[in-house]
Structure 1
Amino acid sequence: MEPRLSFVTLGVGDLARATAFYEQVLKLPRIALPDGAGVAFFELGKTWLSLFPRAELAADAGVPAAGSGFAGFTLAHNVRSAAAVDALLAEVAAAGGRIVKPGQPAFWGGYTGYFADPDGFLWEVAWNPDFPHV
């Protein structure tokens, strides 16, 4: 397998609500699709984020859609400073997002906090002085 991740697809409860959150709150660039496409795509460099109705995604994979609690993964967005962590978390909170963990110094020497999107997917916002990709 070539070392790349092409898509991260989130199964969402309300496609319109989730699309608005990612487009308007997080300001991700949305790819234009025909009306009624039933999916939303956001290009993030070489990896794309897609939003797809949860029940349909589960059916496509052949697994039950029911589930709750921690999904066993988080998404992460690195920023250029500790202040940028707090600024993004404040922006998400002001738009109705749920802050799970406020920005704070991390044991590994950076600064990090978490928010949940409208479907409960966890996003870490982090500043890491030793991570080159921001």
Structure 2
Amino acid sequence: MEPRISLITLGVGDVATATAFYERIGFKRSGEGNAEVSFFQLNGGLVLALWGREHLAADMGSDIREAGFSGVSLAHNTRSALEVDRLVAAFVAAGGRLLKAPERTFWGGYSGYVADPEGHVWEIAHNPFWELDETGGVKLPARVG
């Protein structure tokens, strides 16, 4: 696994309100999002996502009432679906816990969720709509409109 984080997702109560806050402090929203999720390009090819807390919990196969659900996930984007399978298996072999086996997603990608031994959640994902640079950093499209 390349030592990088591609995406930090914050599970929020109100996507529009959270998006407006981050825009007020100077973050530039990408055109990649919609009413349910906002993406912000950060320096170094990192992306911040704001997504409804319930949606994030459901996507990782969790419940927001579960003890230990922090409303945050780290993501490592890959160049292929095969690499997702390989990295999820490596996490588990190294002592991590499988939360959700890799599968095709509703948004057209492929991802799975694992937790490290301390319970920190990682999404391992392939997004065929996002370009990765030579270092693995995500390059989002500019905001539309």
Mapped to 2, the partners of 1:85 and 1:78 lie a distance apart of 8
- The residue type equivalent to 2:111 in the other structure is T
Q: State the match for 1:57 in structure 2.
A: none
Deviations 1:24-77 (A, max 9, x none): xxxxxxxxxxxxxxxxxxxxx577xxxxxxxxxxxxxxxxxxxx4210111111
Aligned to 1:125: 124
SS in 1 for 2:72: coil
Superposed, 1:76-87 pairs within 5 Å as: 76-87=75-86
**Which one-letter code corresponds to 1:109 in the other structure?**
G
- Aligned-partner SS, 1:74: strand
Q: Post-superposition shift, 1:2?
A: 4.8
* 1:109 and 2:108 are equivalent in the alignment: yes
Q: 1:80 & 1:46 partners in 2: Cα distance?
A: 14
User: Pairwise mapping of residues 24-103 of structure 1 onto structure 2 (< 5 A)?
Assistant: 45=44, 68-103=67-102
Q: 1:71 is paired with a residue of what secondary structure?
A: coil
Tell me, in whole angstroms, the C-alpha distance in 1 between the residues paired with 2:71 and 2:94: 26
CA distance in 2, matches of 1:128, 1:82: 9
User: Stretches of 4+ moved more than 4 A in 1?
Assistant: none
Structure 2 residue runs without a partner (length 5+): 1-24, 29-43, 47-66, 137-145
Relative to the length of structure 1, the TM-score reads 0.50
CA contact (8 A) 2:73 2:120 kept: yes
Query: What is the alpha-carbon distance in structure 1 between the residues aligned to residue 70 and residue 87 of structure 2?
Result: 23
Larger radius of gyration between Structure 1 and Structure 2 = 1
Evaluate the alpha carbon distance shift between residue 96 and residue 132 of structure 1 in structure 2; reply closer, same or farther with a 3 A threshold: same
Distance apart, 1:119 and its partner CA: 1.4
Count of residues paired in the alignment:
76
1:21 aligned partner: none
- Matched position secondary structure for 2:90: helix
Which has the higher relative contact order, 1 or 2, with Cα contacts under 8 A spaced 6 or more apart? 2
Deviation at 1:3, TM superposition (A): 3.7
**Cα distance in structure 2, aligned partners of 1:101 and 1:130:** 22
Q: State the Cα deviation string for residues 82-131 of structure 1 (Å, max 9, x = none).
A: 00000001111111110111111011011000000111111000001001
Provide TM-score, normalisation by structure 2.
0.46
CA distance in 1, matches of 2:80, 2:45: 23
